[in-house]
Amino acid sequence: MSDVNKKSNSFKQELISKAKEMGANIIGFTPVERWEQFKDTSQEYFPQNIWPETRTVIVLGIQIFLPMLETTPSIVYSELYNTTNRVLDETAYKLANYLNTLGHRAFFFPRDGYGDISILVKKPAAAFSHVIAGKYAGLGTIGYNHTLITKEFGPRVRLVSILTDAEIEPDELIEGELCIKCEMCKKCCPAGVYTTKETLIADMDKVKCAEYHANLKEAYAFPCGVCIKVCPIGQDRKIYGNNAKKYLNEREALATGVGIEEYAGWIHTRNHGSKVIIKD
C-alpha cells in the first residue's frame, strides 16, 4: 500500500472512530459521482448541485430501538424519534466541525428536510435523500417501503449526511438486495399506501402517507413507523426476535378483543401521554 493510500485509509478510520464515539452506529462514504452514475433521482437533488464543492458524502446512522417502536402510535415512539433526530444532527454537526478543524470544508444536511408534516402533504419531497445517499455509501439497499434496509437494523435506522470537499476512500455498494419483498409493510400499513406487486420498490401514495402522519401529530403520536416495525430484516432481530404473527394479527385483535392480552403492553403505552386511545 502506498503512503498516500495509507494516509487516506488512516484518515477514514479516524473519522469512523470519531463518529462512533459521538454516537453513530453505522457510517459510510460515497463520492458524488455515484449520483451521476446511477441517476436514482433528478439532478437538482444531487449533492454537487446543492453544494458544488462537495466531493464526498458521509452518511451516519443510529438505530431505532425495536421495543419502543413496537408501541407505535405512542408518545414513547414519538420521543424516541425526536431523540434520534437530536443525536443525529448533533453527531453530524460535531463531525463536520471536526473536519473543519482539519482544514476541510464540510457541513451537515439535516436528517429531515421539512419544517412540519403538514408541508409534506402539499410538497411530499425533501431537498436531499439520505436514503439514496445511504445506498451509495454502502450502508444498505432500498426496500419495498422506500426505506434504506441495512444489515444491522433493517429499516430501523435514522440517517443524516455530511457534505464535504474532502476526498475520502469510498465504501463499496452492497451487492444484491436486502429486501426480500415479503410485503409485511404493505400488509400492516394502517393507511394502505403501497400498491405495487411487480416491482421491488413499491408505488406509494406519499400524500396519503403524509396525511395519516398529520393526524398522528395532532394526537401527539407522530410518526407512524409501522412499515419499519414489521420488517424482518436486521441483526437487531437476533436480540429482540420477530413475531410476524403478532404484527399481522394486531389490527384484528384490537378490533375484536380476541387474543388482546398479548398486546397489553402496547395498549398500556398508547393509552398514556397522547390522544391515541386503545380500548382493551
In sequence order, what DSSP letters do the residues of 184-227 get, joined into one string?
A: HHHHH-TT--B--SSSSSPPB-HHHHHHHHHHHHHTT-----HH
CA distance 71 to 256: 19
Domain borders along the chain are 1-280
CA distance 47 to 249: 42
Which run of H or E residues covers position 218? helix 206-218
Which run of H or E residues covers position 163? strand 157-164
Largest CA distance in the chain: 68
Q: What is the pLDDT along the chain (280 residues), one digit of tens a residue?
A: 444 454 578 999 999 999 999 999 999 999 999 999 999 999 999 999 999 999 999 999 999 999 999 999 999 999 999 999 999 999 999 999 999 999 999 999 998 877 778 887 888 788 999 999 999 999 999 999 999 999 999 999 999 999 999 999 999 999 999 999 999 999 999 999 998 878 899 999 999 999 999 999 999 999 999 999 999 999 999 999 999 999 999 999 999 999 999 999 999 999 999 997 776 5
- Contact between 66 and 58 under an 8 Å Cβ cutoff? The reply is no
- pLDDT computed for residue 144 by the predictor: 97
Query: Cα-Cα-Cα-Cα dihedral of 87, 93, 96, 98, to 10°?
Result: -90
Which run of H or E residues covers position 142? strand 140-142
